[in-house]
Amino acid sequence: MSQIICYCFGFTDDEIKEDVIKHNGISKIQQFIVNKKKDGQCACHLNNPKGT
């Protein structure tokens, strides 16, 4: 069963694994999240039910 990894944008572990395979070991999803975080559009500490 797939688990949500990114509560801000709804990415799951399966989506991230597929993304890494598709892009030869590089995650476009990770880069997307990093860019959004730099722009202040990430609030994982608020959106994650575990608070992390």
Residuewise pLDDT in 10s, the chain (52 residues): 899 999 999 999 999 999 999 999 999 999 999 999 999 998 888 888 887 6
**Tell me, what's the pLDDT at 39?**
94
**Tell me, what's the pLDDT at 46?**
86
Global pTM reads 0.80
**Tell me, what's the pLDDT at 31?**
95
**Tell me, what's the pLDDT at 12?**
96
Torsion angle, CA of 34/35/38/41, rounded to 10 degrees?
-100
- Give the three-state DSSP class for 3: coil
Domain ranges (residues) in the chain: 4-47
- Give the three-state DSSP class for 32: helix
